Amino acid sequence: MPFGGSAYTFSKQVIDTVNEVGAVYGLFRYSSQNLTFYCLYVGQTDNLRRRLQEHLNNPPVAGSTHFFAEVYNISLQRSARERVLIAEFQPVGNTLLRR
C-alpha cells in the first residue's frame, strides 16, 4: 500500500514547519511530463523534521523534489512499515536494505 496523505515540497521552508515526530517517509521526484511521483528513497526516524533537514543538506540520492510521511510513534511499527514500502517501491536510494 503506497503512502497515505499529501505530497510536500522538499524545501527548507516546508521542512522547517514539519513536526518533530516519529515517522516513515519517502523522498520522491515529481515528473511534470507524466504527472507521476517516483520514489527515490524510503526511511524512518524518531524525529521527522531533523531527518529531513539532514537529507536536505546531505541527500541519500539526487533529485528529490517532494516527500510523503506517515506518523508512527512506535519504533517496531516504523521498521515494519519501512520494509513494506521499500519492497513495494524498490527505491534506488535504499541499496543497503534491499539485500
pLDDT in single tens digits along all 99 residues of the chain: 799 889 999 999 999 999 999 999 999 999 999 999 999 999 999 999 999 999 999 999 999 999 999 999 999 999 999 999 999 999 999 976 454
Alpha-carbon span 67 to 69, nearest angstrom:
7
Burial of 85 (0-12, 13-18, 19+ CB in 10 A): buried
Burial of 61 (0-12, 13-18, 19+ CB in 10 A): middle
Query: By 3-state DSSP, what share of the chain in percent is helix, strand and coil, each rounded to 5?
Result: 30, 25, 45
pTM confidence score? 0.93
Domains, the chain, in order of start with CATH, read 8-89 (3.40.1440.10)
